[in-house]
Structure 1
Amino acid sequence: MSSPYFMQSSSVLARRGSQSAGSSPADSLRSKLTSRRKYDTVKVEAEEARINELGPSSAPLLTGIRLEHIHQLPAQVKTEPAPVKNPHGRRRRQLTVEYDRDDGVSPMKTENWEPPEWKKQLGFIREMRSSRDAPVDNMGAEKCHDTEAPAHVRRFQVLVSLMLSSQTKDQVTATAMQKLRAHGCTVENILATDDETLGKLIYPVGFWRNKVKYVKLTSAMLQKEYGGDIPNTVEGLVRLPGVGPKMAHLAMDIAWDQVSGIGVDTHVHRISNRLGWLKKLSKNPEETRKALEEWLPRELWSEINWLLVGFGQQVCLPVNPLCSVCLNQYSCPSAHKNSPAKKPKAEPSHTSNQKSTFKIKTEPQPETAVKDEMASKELTSLKYIIS
């Protein structure tokens, strides 16, 4: 056959026959399977290495996966999504969100609150207290102990003076401490003194009967647990009968020379609320102490007590504060507001008589009317007898 179509096909068959002349169809199939098996082995090793890098948490993903389908695993393990094509033809930029790792606690920025003009007000209080002639300066707890006594006796006397000063003026406390020191203000002497004698020594301090019990119980506790000395921690001091947080912090400052907190008494409590040194008005000295310690620098904790106590004794009085002579009268939010209003002027006598007559008319009182009638009859009979 001489057709060109048959000639082309025969050349193709001859070319293919020449390529496969040296191997049979079975050998060709075996070589293909071997190459395929090698390819799968390489893929499995690559995926095992990838899984080891991902960690043990990705191991459950291999459950139920056949080896011949292992090459599909990267599509399942892949965690980054493919970029979404923008229909408008522009490629979107992927945003990466990063988080600060802080053991599960997200940091919060907090601003420390403080009164707007507290430094200026504190400077004025220092200026007004520069003379140091208030009762607390001469008769406070720092002045009531015997400076020549042993250290543990001085500390005990400081604690006793603080216990007696509760709701008592410094002058009365100083007088009681003088009598106690003359009697012998030590743990041993206090325990050897009966309650009646001890009461006469500390009278007339406020609540003197209760304070006799507290001083005796505290002395016994100090002798038993602390060898006659006082505790050197706030926790140990507040365990003593009749000792509160204010006394504990002041005792730590005066007796142990350690600043553990602000001693807040009625003066510090009152003045801090008046000056606006608290975020909100506090109800008791302990709330005031916690609020002040949140913002007041620690180096001022020891000074603030005697400053405000003396200021409260001389200027910022509980009743009728002397706002007109206070240097803080223009910055204090309570200036000229705590003084009582002026008493109303006395009304003329005729006005009061009219009011009383009006009351009698509008509010009938039978007993009063009968008494008035009897008095008028007695007056008439007396006039008759005299005439």
Structure 2
Amino acid sequence: MLSTIMTSPYFAHSRSVTSRRRNLLTSSPLGSKLTRTSRNPREGVKEEETETDLSSRAATHGSPQQAATHPQPEASPQRAHGRRRRQLKVEYDVADGASPVKTERWRPPEWTKQFELIREMRKGRDAPVDDMGAEKCYDTEAPAHVRRFQVLVSLMLSSQTRDQVTAAAMQKLRAHGCSAGNILATDDDTLGKLIYPVGFWRRKVQYLKRTSAVLQGDFGGDIPHSVEGLVRLPGVGPKMAHLAMDIAWDQVSGIGVDTHVHRISNRLGWLRKPSKNPEETRKALEEWLPSCPSAFKSSPAKRPKSERPPQSLSPTSSSKTKTEPGSDDERMEKEATSPASRTRNIKSKVS
């Protein structure tokens, strides 16, 4: 009976199916996994389910031998919750040597045409300042530090004074000896007679004495090599400082603006908005004027009260000197309209 069943065609067919199934399981990586799983008696049920999945996969993608002969393209890796998004890298073509885009600064629309007309008008150089300005008032044979000191003195005397009067006063000072040491050694009355009749000559005598004391003690008779250092001197404002840097040190540091430049700049429309005084005009011009190296830089700090020279350096210690805002000429005008100044002028006329 047993031999009959074993030799039956039914069992022969079952053996062939079983052998093919075993070959399939052992010939694929997944088959080794199923084989190991089948060794665990607790997971015997999973073997049938896995084999069923394997049969369906073989029907869909073909047998392992066919997969080896015709490999399928690998699927793209996927995230746990969906397909991985493709990242795009955006690049921009940058030209070699290209600079970042700069916003155009404000400039007067007609300033170049106006400037050329002014240059054409002034090419004759027939104004008094051309022959009697600060760049013509120093002794060319003097030492360099003395020449620079004389440039600063001529600028201090020129405030509210015609160029002809300033040049005459500088001639007398140079004949007397115009250096920081000689100015300190000269008494106030003699110094006043030498610079008379420049505007506010009494006030300027005080400025010359105090400034000469600072320069002699701190700079060896020379003048500071910076706008910040120059504006700290008594009687020296931004206009004088920038002109001194240009004439004495041959360095353009900014624009020297007086009442005339202030008035003309407003009339020509060279300011973004009208200014009230020469100092505002200077700052407004330096914000856009191309030939000014101080454009877009902060203005020099004003001289603090704590850094003023001691009152003992002043020939008249009872007189208080203030550093008023605005230009040098504006400060002189305010001092001239004071009651004490009017009293001194009346006494001077009577005497």
What is the TM-score when the length of structure 1 is the normalising length?
Answer: 0.53
Q: Which runs of 5+ in 1 are unaligned?
A: 1-6, 37-70, 82-94, 102-106, 302-387
Letter in 2 for 1:234: V
2:208 maps to what in 1? 215
Letter in 1 for 2:249: W
- For the residues of structure 2 that align with 1:21 and 1:300, how far apart are their CA atoms? 92
Letter in 1 for 2:183: I
1:326-378 deviation digits (Å, cap 9, x = unpaired) = xxxxxxxxxxxxxxxxxxxxxxxxxxxxxxxxxxxxxxxxxxxxxxxxxxxxx
Residues 76 and 283 of structure 1: CA distance in aligned 2, closer, same or farther (over 3 Å):
farther
- For the residues of structure 2 that align with 1:21 and 1:116, how far apart are their CA atoms? 95
1:112 maps to what in 2? 105
Residues 8 and 264 of structure 1: CA distance in aligned 2, closer, same or farther (over 3 Å):
farther
1:71-104 deviation digits (Å, cap 9, x = unpaired) = 87676995657xxxxxxxxxxxxx9876899xxx
Letter in 2 for 1:266: T
1:176 maps to what in 2? 169
Paired residue secondary structure (2:265): helix
Letter in 2 for 1:153: V
- For the residues of structure 1 that align with 2:184 and 2:163, how far apart are their CA atoms? 25
1:286 maps to what in 2? 279
2:138 alignment partner, one of 140, 145, 150: 145
- For the residues of structure 2 that align with 1:29 and 1:295, how far apart are their CA atoms? 80
TM-superposed deviation, 1:199? 2.3
- The 4+ residue runs of structure 1 with deviation greater than 4 A are 7-12, 20-25, 33-36, 71-81, 95-101
Do 2:24 and 2:31's aligned partners in 1 also have CA atoms closer than 8 Å? no
Residues 72 and 273 of structure 1: CA distance in aligned 2, closer, same or farther (over 3 Å):
same
Aligned counterparts, 1:1-387, within 5 A: 13-19=14-20, 31-32=32-33, 80=86, 109-298=102-291
TM-superposed deviation, 1:261? 1.5
TM-superposed deviation, 1:8? 10
Residues 33 and 198 of structure 1: CA distance in aligned 2, closer, same or farther (over 3 Å):
farther
- For the residues of structure 1 that align with 2:23 and 2:246, how far apart are their CA atoms? 107
Paired residue secondary structure (1:295): coil
- For the residues of structure 1 that align with 2:36 and 2:147, how far apart are their CA atoms? 98
TM-superposed deviation, 1:236? 1.9
1:2-23 deviation digits (Å, cap 9, x = unpaired) = xxxxx99867633332235689
Do 2:254 and 2:292's aligned partners in 1 also have CA atoms closer than 8 Å? no
TM-superposed deviation, 1:254? 0.8
Letter in 2 for 1:298: S
Q: Across the two proteins, how many residue pairs are aligned to each other?
A: 241
Letter in 2 for 1:112: R
TM-superposed deviation, 1:161? 0.7
1:139-178 deviation digits (Å, cap 9, x = unpaired) = 2111211222222111101001101112222222222222
TM-superposed deviation, 1:251? 0.7
- For the residues of structure 2 that align with 1:168 and 1:35, how far apart are their CA atoms? 113
TM-superposed deviation, 1:245? 1.5
- For the residues of structure 2 that align with 1:74 and 1:24, how far apart are their CA atoms? 29
1:103-161 deviation digits (Å, cap 9, x = unpaired) = xxxx6641133222223222222232233222212221112112222221111010011
Residues 151 and 22 of structure 1: CA distance in aligned 2, closer, same or farther (over 3 Å):
closer
Residues 270 and 24 of structure 1: CA distance in aligned 2, closer, same or farther (over 3 Å):
closer
Residues 29 and 256 of structure 1: CA distance in aligned 2, closer, same or farther (over 3 Å):
closer
Residues 22 and 77 of structure 1: CA distance in aligned 2, closer, same or farther (over 3 Å):
closer
1:26-57 deviation digits (Å, cap 9, x = unpaired) = xx999307999xxxxxxxxxxxxxxxxxxxxx
Residues 292 and 24 of structure 1: CA distance in aligned 2, closer, same or farther (over 3 Å):
closer
- For the residues of structure 2 that align with 1:15 and 1:110, how far apart are their CA atoms? 87
Residues 153 and 31 of structure 1: CA distance in aligned 2, closer, same or farther (over 3 Å):
same
Do 2:254 and 2:293's aligned partners in 1 also have CA atoms closer than 8 Å? no
Do 2:25 and 2:34's aligned partners in 1 also have CA atoms closer than 8 Å? no
Paired residue secondary structure (2:287): helix
Residues 264 and 34 of structure 1: CA distance in aligned 2, closer, same or farther (over 3 Å):
farther
2:66 maps to what in 1? none
Q: Percent identity?
A: 72
RMSD: 3.8
1:55 maps to what in 2? none
Letter in 2 for 1:15: S
Q: Which shows bigger deviation, 14-23 or 205-214?
A: 14-23
- For the residues of structure 2 that align with 1:122 and 1:24, how far apart are their CA atoms? 97
What is the TM-score when the length of structure 2 is the normalising length?
Answer: 0.58
Letter in 2 for 1:140: G
- For the residues of structure 2 that align with 1:100 and 1:119, how far apart are their CA atoms? 37
Residues 134 and 30 of structure 1: CA distance in aligned 2, closer, same or farther (over 3 Å):
same
